[in-house]
A and B are shown apart, each in its own frame.
Chain A
Amino acid sequence: MKRFIEHEELARDRRFIRQQNVAADLLATLPDDVDAVVELFEKVGPVIEAGTRGTAAEPLYDRFGPAFTLMTLNEPIRPGDPGTEDRLKMRMHGIFVGELQALEGAGRSLWDFPEAPWEFKMNMARQCWDEARHVQIFEKLLDHVGGEVGMYAESTFLFEAACADDPALRVAGVNRALEGLACDVFRDNIEYAKQTDDALMEQSMDYVLADELTHVRFGSEWVAEFCKDDPERLAKAREFRRETDRRFNFGGARSADKDAAIQIAWEDRKFAGFTDEELEDLAQLSGEGPSRKTMKKAIEILVARFQEEHGIPSEAQS
Chain B
Amino acid sequence: MSEGRMYPGTGKDERTTFAPYSAFDIPQDLRELHGRYDVETTARRVRNFRYAEEWMMMMLGGWLATVPEVPVKTGLGKIIWEGAKAADEFGKRLPELRCGKRAAESSEAGNPGFADLIQEIAAPETPDLTIEKMTGVFDVLKPHLVKVYERHMRETDQIADAPTIEILEEIVRKTERHVAWGHEILDRLCDTDAKRQRRHARQAELNELLEKCGGVTGDLALDH
Contacts and interface: CB of A to CB of B under 8 A. Distances in A.
A109 B60 CA distance: 11
A48 interface: no
Give chain B's interface secondary structure class: helix
B69 A108 contact: no
Interface string A98-126: 00100110111111101001100110111
Contact of A132 (B57, B78, B91, B105): B78
A5 interface: yes
A290 to B, nearest CB: 34
A107 B64 CA distance: 6
B80 interface: yes
Nearest to A126: B81
Give chain A's interface secondary structure class: helix
A114 B81 contact: no
Given A125-B80, A129-B81, A9 B74 contact: no
B67 interface: yes
Interface footprint category on A: 35 or more
A111 B61 CA distance: 6
B61 A110 contact: yes
A37 B168 CA distance: 62
Contact of B74 (A11, A13, A125, A136): A136
Contacts of A124: 61
B62 interface: yes
Interface in B35-78: 54, 57-70, 73-78
Contacts of A11: 65-68, 127
B73 A135 contact: yes
B81 A125 contact: yes
A310 interface: no
Nearest to A110: B61
Interface of B: 54, 57-70, 73-78, 80-81, 83-85, 88, 91, 104-105, 122-125, 127
